[in-house]
Structure 1
């Protein structure tokens, strides 16, 4: 049986290997995807894959944009700061799937329409 200290050392080495901030982003993105999948159950395997990808991209991309915009990169130097970054990444991923799902539903309803009809309808709405 392995010693707990050696396991903890291996975990710390693995965390440093992937990078603390990258690990926080990955955890935040994964948690956001799980929450979204539970809240809006996918109707098909295809929709599940689209939802997972869009949530992770929204988490990582949106979280990075928020952190960059507000200059919060220094948070990555402390464990508590990494937890704060994880929360931002998580929050940014939640609307990702909803936006993509709305867009695909909008496109599916207008599948037979040409571009001019879609643009005309969008202008009327706006």
Structure 2
């Protein structure tokens, strides 16, 4: 027997777009949190931070959903909120990793790749 499904406009809209809305909202909120924690020094840094935070939110959250098989959570509003929390939690580490990497690269501006590799090898041996 088929499961009864409500066909009101709001229900259909939620079932089709609910997870996407939650993901975008959570990615925007984590980007806001990151920008408020460490204010960007320039519009360029702001754009890079925003892009990296949103991408890490989507990719990290999606990875966790697939890895742990949490697809069924998208069936109700509380599950969507929980999935949104995953998207939110995945944004901050992505921003931090990008910031550390760009700082590392900026500190070695003007060095050749060979000098950077030698420096990394020396640090690795310590």
Corresponding residue to 1:38 among 32, 36, 52: 36
Question: Cα offset for 1:15?
Answer: 4.5
Corresponding residue to 2:18 among 10, 17, 20: 20
**Aligned twin of 1:123:** 121
**Aligned twin of 1:89:** 87
Question: Cα offset for 1:125?
Answer: 2.4
**Aligned twin of 2:4:** none
Superposition TM-score, scaled by structure 1 size: 0.84
Question: Is contact 2:15–2:75 with CA below 8 Å preserved after alignment?
Answer: no
| Cα distance change on mapping 1:40 and 1:76 into 2, 3 Å | same
Structure 1 residue runs of 5 or longer lacking an equivalent are 1-8
Structure 2 residue runs of 5 or longer lacking an equivalent are 1-7
* Structure 2 SS opposite 1:102: helix
Render the CA deviation track for 1:30-88: whole Å, top value 9, x for unaligned: 11101000001101110000000000001001100111111111111111000000000
CA distance in 1, matches of 2:83, 2:70: 8
Superposition TM-score, scaled by structure 2 size: 0.84
More displaced stretch, 46-55 vs 108-117: 108-117
RMSD over aligned CA atoms reads 1.7
Between Structure 1 and Structure 2, how many residues are aligned? 117
